[in-house]
Every structure is written in C-alpha cells, then in structure tokens.
C-alpha cells in the first residue's frame, strides 16, 4: 500500500478536515433550513404547473436534474410537455432556443454552475442575442451546496451581468419563487433565475405582509435609521434575521430586498441609499466581484450618492467543501457573521 503525505501546496490533494468540523447539514444540501419559518415544498414546480394549466406555450426541459430542480412536478402534470435532455446543457439550451422560435415558452433547468460555466456561449448566441423568451432556472446558486467548486456557482452573476438582453433574478424565499414564475412567463425575453428548491422557507410575508414580487423592482421590507442592507436571494432572509437580533442592542437596520439583479432598480436604491446618516451594506450569496455589491456601488458613485458603504459577500477564491452551517460561518454569510460585520463597521 502506498501512503501519501498531505502537502497543502499540491492542489490535487484532498483537504483534511479539522477535528470536530462538520455539522448536521449534509454537503449536497437541497433545501435551505431556516429556523422560525414555515417551509413550502417545491414552490417553483407547483407555480410552474399552475401557469402551465392556462398557458399551453409553457414547456419544461432539464439536463438530467428534474428531481433536483423541482421540475419533476411539472413532468408528472404535463409529461407530453416535458423534455429530459440528459447531461448535456449545451443541447438543452439549443433545444430551448428552437422551441422559443416556434412560439413556446421554455423553462430550462439545471445547476447554476453548469448553466453559467458550461453553457454560456450557447446562452449568449442562441438565446440572448436573439432575445428569445427562454427562462433558465438553476438550483444550487452560490454557496448552497457543500460539494466544493465543481458545484458552487459563486460567480454566476459576474458571468451573466455583461450579457445583453438577459434579465437576472435572485429570489429570497418560497413566496418570491412562486410569485416570480408568472412574471417570468409574462416577460418577453430571456431570464436567468437562481432557484431555491426542495423545502423552501417562507420568510418575506412574516416581515412584510403586503409584499408582491415585481420584475425589476426592489422592495423595502423593513425600515431602520442606522443601517441600510441591500440584499438579494437568501441573504435577504439572513439580513432580516440580523435586523431582528440587532434591534435587541438598539441598532436599527433597514432591509431593501433586490430580487432583480439586472436590470437594477436604481431609482429605489438611490432614494434609500441617499437618506443621510445610514451605513449602506450590500449582502449577497455571490463573490464580492461582479455581483450585486459592485452593481450598487457603481450606481451610487455614478449618481453622486456617497454614503459610508460596505459589502458582504463570498471571497474571491474557490471555496471549501463541507457542511453548510460551517461554511456560511467561515465565509461570512451566516446571520451571526452578518451581524458581527455590521457591528464592527458602526
């Protein structure tokens, strides 16, 4: 038997876990747990079925990941409108483009990392350039899996934000996901939407009962005088939880939910960030390069709005594998880590 000595400088060596590392959450997590909130099973799948009942143009395609993108619910309801394309994202995107040209509204699902890295050129040439109404809906966005860089789509916004015609959506919870589906159907153009799947927390209505998703619009879910957090995706949930905790210490945090990354709701962001005396913080489940934080920073600077500004996001590196609670703490996107950073900046 040949034994090997661990060398941290050799990239192909497995990382050795430290004693006690881990957690209750498995590495290949499908659902994002959230204490204190009800969970809704497969909101995307059920919302898509509801839309498809009244719109025969809707078809579903997946790259061998129906069960892991909740598209199996659509497949059961409309087997004649479901297409299993196998492990071939490029083929799936090309087929979706062809269907869109024939008058259909295709929803194509895979993992975010495969759409953004593997199928980018096909999305650019076959869909975005032609401005076709293909909806690319992708699970495991950012750091929502512990399987390491091969499955962690931490740079998908940076990849897609420069692509003309493409709308980018990052919903917070089950409510956002379900309400986004009809908006995507109504939008006459291509969309890339990050997907929280499985049992998805229902968060927003607990803090803002009258919330309604609108494509291209940011919504103030909670007001506050000390800090404004501009967040997207599940980081909005984390920001809301941090705001509740901070209130116990007399810190007042406003949370502006920005589910549409492109086009950015610049009017709302400028109006909120322009209020004097507040620290402005962006929070995203994405690398700090090329995502929501940089988009907001550019918006503020080019419009002459210059509050004290900080960004919370993932580091510019390939992330470790492991249990998600451990990784979220390590990379600064847990509720505790968000609150600690904000306290340090005040």
**303: Cα within 13 Å, side-chain hemisphere:** 16
Of the candidates 277, 274, 276, 204, the one whose C-alpha atom is nearest the C-alpha of residue 239 is 204
Distance CA 111, CA 115 (A): 7
Q: What is the CA radius of gyration of the chain?
A: 20
Q: Residue 103: left if φ>0, alpha if ψ -120 to 50, beta else—which one?
A: left
Phi, psi dihedral angles at 118 (to 5 degrees): -80, -35
Q: How many CB atoms lie within 10 A of CB 41?
A: 14
Q: Residue 175: left if φ>0, alpha if ψ -120 to 50, beta else—which one?
A: alpha
* Contact in structure between 101 and 132 (CB atoms under 8 Å): yes
> Which residues belong to the active site?
89
Phi, psi dihedral angles at 199 (to 5 degrees): -90, 110
* Contact in structure between 217 and 61 (CB atoms under 8 Å): no
Task: State how far Cα 300 lies from the chain centre.
Answer: 23
Residues listed for the chain: 346
Distance CA 55, CA 134 (A): 15
Of the candidates 137, 141, 121, the one whose C-alpha atom is nearest the C-alpha of residue 129 is 121
Task: State how far Cα 209 lies from the chain centre.
Answer: 22
């Amino acid at each position: 038997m040949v034994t090997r000595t661990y060398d941290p400088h050799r990239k192909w060596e497995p990382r050795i876990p430290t004693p006690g590392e881990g957690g209750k959450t498995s590495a290949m997590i499908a659902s994002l747990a959230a204490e204190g909130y009800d969970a809704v099973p497969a909101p995307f799948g059920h919302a898509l079925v509801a839309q498809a009942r009244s719109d025969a143009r809707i078809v579903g395609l997946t790259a061998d990941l129906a069960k892991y993108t909740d598209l199996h619910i659509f497949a059961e309801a409309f087997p004649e409108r479901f297409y299993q394309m196998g492990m071939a994202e490029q083929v799936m995107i090309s087929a979706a483009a062809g269907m869109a040209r024939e008058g259909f509204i295709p929803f194509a699902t895979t993992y975010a990392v495969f759409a953004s890295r593997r199928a980018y050129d096909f999305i650019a040439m076959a869909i975005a350039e032609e401005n076709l109404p293909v909806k690319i809906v992708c699970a495991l966005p950012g750091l929502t899996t512990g399987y390491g860089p091969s499955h962690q789509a931490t740079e998908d916004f940076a990849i897609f934000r420069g692509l003309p015609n493409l709308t980018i959506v990052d919903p917070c919870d089950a409510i956002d996901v379900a309400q986004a589906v009809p908006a995507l159907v109504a939008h006459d153009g291509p969309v890339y939407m990050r997907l929280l799947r499985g049992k998805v927390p229902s968060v927003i209505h607990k803090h803002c009962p009258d919330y309604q998703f609108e494509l291209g619009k940011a919504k103030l879910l909670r007001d506050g005088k000390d800090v404004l957090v501009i967040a997207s995706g599940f980081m909005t949930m984390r920001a809301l939880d941090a705001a509740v905790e901070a209130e116990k210490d007399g810190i007042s945090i406003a949370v502006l939910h920005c589910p549409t990354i492109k086009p950015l709701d610049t009017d709302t962001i400028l109006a909120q960030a322009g209020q004097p005396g507040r620290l402005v913080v962006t929070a995203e489940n994405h690398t700090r390069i090329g995502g929501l934080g940089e988009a907001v920073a550019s918006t503020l600077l080019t419009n002459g709005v210059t509050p004290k500004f900080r960004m919370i996001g993932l580091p510019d590196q390939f992330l470790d594998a492991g249990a998600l609670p451990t990784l979220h703490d390590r990379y600064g996107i847990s509720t505790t880590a968000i609150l600690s950073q904000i306290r340090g900046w005040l």
